[in-house]
Amino acid sequence: MRVLAIAHNTFRECIRDKILYNLIVFALLMIASSVALGHLTLGHSEKVIIDVGLTAISVIGTLIAIFIGIGLVYKEMEKRTIYALLAKPVERWQFVVGKFLGLLFTLAVNVAVMTAGLMLTLALHGGLPPGGYVRLLPAAYLILMSLAVTTALALVFSTFSTPALSALFTFFLWGIGHFSGDLLELGRAIRSETFAFVSRALYYALPNFSNFTAIDSRNVILTAAYHREIDAAAVGWVSLYGVIYTAALVGIASAIFARRDFK
């Protein structure tokens, strides 16, 4: 009940924020402009539209997750709105979980709106073969899963750091998280047991965003663009990874937040 009240208020805060609309309009413009790019490629225009469209959804979603996520808790402390809130019968973990769920729901709505925009663009451009639209959905879903992890990362930093530093840390880990597979390979290539151990530890500790961008070594966005099916079992495993990793990050954020003094 209280978690949902906080989540609802966070969602309301997000949707009343003009920055969000600017980013969504920008994403929809990118999707629409992909039509022009599509004309440059003979016979593959809808593939370009899907590729550009899903990439725009991912990039804009990541920007929203990071820039709103880093302020989720920090803003409440800076503006002192947290004082009256935590003086109510609210556990601190309920506050953190509520803030996370509120932004996650905002991102889910955004991804849904932008995916609908992409489908509309494709329909106006001449449509997709049967099943083509449905095959966009797993890609959109995996983008949302990666946004959940990104939001949780930003949330962790938001509980103890300033927005500027939080943005820096989140971008840094987000970047590394896309190349964590390479880190593991590096550990294998360099013949040092210590380095192999460190690289393996980092591989498991850092968020592995490539899980969400590639299934069975095939790029998720391109798979959707070529109307190929994405293996449902693999999506299930990736979802499990995403949920566990996100829950762990939200747990860490809650633990840090529970120990804070609000001077």
Classify residue 191 by its DSSP letter.
-
Give the H or E element holding residue 219: strand 218-219
Question: Which residue's CB is nearer to other proteins, number 12 or number 228?
Answer: 12
| 261 interacts with other proteins by CB under 8 A | yes
Burial label for 8, CB within 10 Å (0-12, 13-18, 19+), is middle
SS3 128: coil
Residue 45 main-chain phi, psi, to 5 deg: -60, -40
CA distance 80 to 162: 15
x/- string (CB under 8 A) for other proteins, residues 60-99? Answer: -------------------xxx-xxxxxxxxx--------
The answer to whether 255 contacts other proteins (rule: CB under 8 A) is no
CA distance 175 to 95: 28
Q: Which is nearer to other proteins, 16 or 191 (CB)?
A: 16
Nearer to other proteins, 6 or 225 (CB): 6
By the rule CB under 8 A, 12 interacts with other proteins: yes
Position among 2, 47, 178, 218 found at the interface with other proteins (CB under 8 A): 2
Query: Per CB under 8 A, does 218 bind other proteins?
Result: no
User: For residues 166 and 77, what is the distance between their CA atoms, to the nearest angstrom?
Assistant: 15
In the three-class reduction of DSSP (H, G, I as helix; E, B as strand; rest coil), residue 125 is classed as: helix
Residue 118 CB neighbours (<10 A): 26
18: contact with other proteins by CB under 8 A: no
Span from 8-16, 25-33, 166-174, 202-210 in contact with other proteins (CB under 8 A): 8-16
Listed ranges 12-20, 163-171, 205-213, 236-244: which one lies at the site for other proteins (CB under 8 A): 12-20
Q: Which residues bind other proteins (CB under 8 A)?
A: 1-2, 5-6, 9, 12-13, 16-17, 79-81, 83-91, 261-263
